[in-house]
């Protein structure tokens, strides 16, 4: 069972809010169970930065490389089999090497930078890259504006998220996260239109604070989601009280959110109607339902693309239930038939 047909008679049009590695794996599964051309990804660009003089879009590229089947599966980012001659040569010349761009990955960033300097928008360039990699899923940046996410650390330090993660090793010293640039940014062309036209809106199992948070902070995005007729279903990135990957625990603690499936549900509760959570967290499902969210309990660990496809199916199944009952963020309950 999946979400019902679209108003145009085809498969449902799905919009997915996405960060990096976890989102990309989920999207690979979603593209297995749904026509990829019916999927639009709105990707986080709060991680974007200029490095070695080129514009790097880490999350957008992770999604593209993964959907193209070209990602380095061991790391979850970068291109499989890439070399690092450029970064090694730059290091020998005294440049920092903490952000390790592979040579072919660097070519993607060079293309992006050249096209941006020619006056192309980031949405256009992102579409060029995904077409070059023969990815059928449409991918949009959340904004074309420069809207970096900053992490505020003990001692008054303020660092770009990629500096916090890749350079500093994600220390457990977070006091707050600054999304001010995202809040001041307009949505990229096509973003609000995609949300309005969606039959289902999915929130990928990404970092709630620095991946999903910046997307919904962009001007107009939260209002478009609230006004949409589509059910909104989020997948928990927390399993058994810890993130599957990345520093979500440190960032959630830093902004005062409980590191649990229940905590993330509370973080999303104002704009999400359904919530897929791991079977190891089933004891928290009643608490999540008390927040007003319908739940689906299943195995959320994406060990391979088949597991990711099963998880995507579970999210679409919950969206289908919400569509039938006309649910918005309110009155959550669990359909026993949906538990597995």
Point out which residues pair with 174 in neighbouring strands. 153
Dihedral angle, C-alpha 249, 255, 256, 258, nearest 10 °: -30
291: which 2 tokens?
């927040």
204 and 150 in contact (C-beta within 8 Å)? no
Q: What percent of the chain has pLDDT over 90?
A: 91
**pLDDT value of position 323:** 82
* Alpha-carbon gap, residue 318 to 340, rounded angstroms: 12
Domains, the chain, in order of start with CATH, read 14-48+143-330 (3.40.50.10680)
For the chain, report the end-to-end CA distance as a whole number of angstroms.
14
* Alpha-carbon gap, residue 162 to 56, rounded angstroms: 11
**pLDDT value of position 9:** 66
* Alpha-carbon gap, residue 322 to 306, rounded angstroms: 25
299 and 310 in contact (C-beta within 8 Å)? yes
* Alpha-carbon gap, residue 318 to 3, rounded angstroms: 8
Point out which residues pair with 178 in neighbouring strands. 150
261 and 277 in contact (C-beta within 8 Å)? yes
Can you say whether residue 292 is alpha, beta or left, with left for phi > 0 and alpha for psi between -120 and 50 degrees?
Answer: left
* Alpha-carbon gap, residue 228 to 311, rounded angstroms: 24
What letters, b where the CB count within 10 A reaches 16 and e where it falls short, cover 108-137?
bbbbbbebbeeebebbebbbebbeebebeb
Residue 184 phi/psi, 5-degree rounding, is: -90, -5
pLDDT in tens, 235-293: 999 999 999 999 999 999 999 999 999 999 999 999 999 999 999 999 999 999 999 99
296 and 318 in contact (C-beta within 8 Å)? yes
pLDDT in tens, 32-84: 999 999 999 999 999 999 999 999 999 999 999 999 999 999 999 999 999 99
Q: 10 Å Cβ neighbour count for 83?
A: 11
Which range (108-112, 251-255, 312-316, 319-323) has the least confidence?
Answer: 319-323
Map residue 231 onto helix, strand or coil.
coil
Helix segments in 188-283, DSSP class H: 191-197, 213-217, 221-227, 248-254, 261-268
Going by the DSSP 8-state scheme, the letter that residue 77 receives in this structure is S
179 and 151 in contact (C-beta within 8 Å)? no
Comparing C-alpha atoms, which of 116, 103, 16, 106 is closest to residue 67? 16
**pLDDT value of position 75:** 92
pLDDT over 60 (residue 1): no
pLDDT in tens, 87-131: 999 999 999 999 999 999 999 999 999 999 999 999 999 999 999
Q: How confident is the model at residue 337 (pLDDT cuts 50, 70, 90)?
A: very low
How would DSSP label each residue in 110-168? HHHHHHHHTT--HHHHHHHHHHHTT--SEEEES-SS----EEEETTS-EEEHHIIIIIT
Which residue is it, tokens 């704009």? Answer: 271
Going by the DSSP 8-state scheme, the letter that residue 186 receives in this structure is B
Give, for 35, the enclosing helix (H) or strand (E).
none
**pLDDT value of position 114:** 98
């Amino acid at each position: 069972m999946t979400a019902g047909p679209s108003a145009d008679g085809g498969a449902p049009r799905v919009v997915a809010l996405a960060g990096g590695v976890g989102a990309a794996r989920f999207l690979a599964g979603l593209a297995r169970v749904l026509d990829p051309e019916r999927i639009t990804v709105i990707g986080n660009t709060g991680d974007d930065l200029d490095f070695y003089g080129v514009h790097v879009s880490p999350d957008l590229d992770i999604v593209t490389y993964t959907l193209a089947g070209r990602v380095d599966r061991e790391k979850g980012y970068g291109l499989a089999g890439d070399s690092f001659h450029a970064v090694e040569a730059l290091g020998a010349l005294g440049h920092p090497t903490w952000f390790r761009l592979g040579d072919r990955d660097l070519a993607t960033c060079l293309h992006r930078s050249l096209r941006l300097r020619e006056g192309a928008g980031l949405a256009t360039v992102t579409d060029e890259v995904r077409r070059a990699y023969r990815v059928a899923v449409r991918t949009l940046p959340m904004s074309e504006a420069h809207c970096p996410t900053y992490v505020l650390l003990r001692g008054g330090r303020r660092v770009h998220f990629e500096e916090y993660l890749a350079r500093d090793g994600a220390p457990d010293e977070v006091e707050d996260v600054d999304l001010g640039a995202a809040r001041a940014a307009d949505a990229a062309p096509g973003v609000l239109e995609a949300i309005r036209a969606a039959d289902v809106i999915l929130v990928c199992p990404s970092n709630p604070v620095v991946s999903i948070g910046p997307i919904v902070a962009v001007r107009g995005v939260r209002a478009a989601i609230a006004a949409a007729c589509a059910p909104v279903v989020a997948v928990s990135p927390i399993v058994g009280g810890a993130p599957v990957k990345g520093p979500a625990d440190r960032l959630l603690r830093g902004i005062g959110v409980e590191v649990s499936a229940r905590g993330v549900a509370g973080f999303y509760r104002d704009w999400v109607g359904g919530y897929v959570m791991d079977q190891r967290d089933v004891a928290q499902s009643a608490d999540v339902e008390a927040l007003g969210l319908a739940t689906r309990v299943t195995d959320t660990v994406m060990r391979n693309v088949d597991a990711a496809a099963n998880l995507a199916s579970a999210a679409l199944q919950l969206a289908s239930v919400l569509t039938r009952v006309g649910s918005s963020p309110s009155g959550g309950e669990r359909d026993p038939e949906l538990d597995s």
